[in-house]
Structure 1
Amino acid sequence: MARLAVLLAFILSLAGVAQAEERSSLLPAVPKATGEPHAEGNEYWRKNHMEMMRHDRDLTLRMGDREIEASLKGCFDCHAVKDDHGMPVTYTSEKHFCRVCHDYAAVKVDCFMCHRSTPDGVDEHAINGDSHAGLMTSPEGDAGAGAVAGYLERLARPARRTMMTSTTTSGADE
């Protein structure tokens, strides 16, 4: 009888281990970073990275402070994931550091529509073979500047029509 109780306890303990292992397999496998650990700890960054990026965005864009200690650009110095050929993957790859958790959480990230998704010195055009907006470092000559000017002009047209219509309408009532 005692042997049966020990055997039952052993089987139940294995079930707990199997269940814990099963739960951990449901979480994303986050790629290891290569640099020094964050002073605040990984858990802090996991929970607060979006608020910190918003804060830094506001300091940079609205206040003109470009000396931000932590930047999106700096993230990839330690968090660049490499492919089978040793090249950093871009955000288009499911292996990209940011995508691992964001895909798991079903969160759409739009940072890389404007920002690069690899460390400095990596030619993202060559990796992706596309002309993704986030991979453009600057408008390409006069053609690029003309395209930007044309885009802004098209955006302004509906606003002008609305202003002209409201002016015409308000003038007719007088």
Structure 2
Amino acid sequence: MAAEAPVFEKLFRACRRSAVHLEMRDAYMPSDPMFVAWQKDRSVDHAADPEWQPWLDFMSEVVGRGVEVRRARIVSEPVSEYIRFEHAVTDMNVRAGEQVRWLARRRATDLALPGNDFWLFDEETLLVNHFDGDGEWQSEGGTEVVSDPAVIKLCATAFGAVWDRATPHEDYRPA
């Protein structure tokens, strides 16, 4: 999980209606042991990753109490090695109740997008994620909570535009 756990979990636990996540990078945390293992044989063993099941259980709990969780990913095509991996593991997110869509970057040229990935909770609280140039999580200042209505409106509008244009996970084939 990218966001600092206490803040992230607190925001999810307080969430009542919706949590949306916009991802716009072509690589995240290349040092992630699950990604490193996948690179060796292109197989995914979710049971072997001790961090994976708690996330799935948490998402199942959140969705089970009526929160709609949507994740949209803007990706360059042909996709990066990391995005190929991410696509391979996304079935688990979907089984836990997340809705996931993919948008080719070339189809996003006319969209106004924020400069960073984010989670938006109930269209009221924004959690901005900060990564370094290699896609590694910034250990200090990795998240920023924003409540400015103008920024929230920008991010909500951006997510909506991406979501409307993006392809559902079950129909997306990485190019």
Normalising by structure 1, report the TM-score. 0.27
Report which of the two structures shows the higher radius of gyration computed on alpha carbons. Answer: 1
Structure having the larger proportion of residues in strand: 2
Normalising by structure 2, report the TM-score. 0.27
Higher relative contact order (CA 8 A, sep 6+): 2
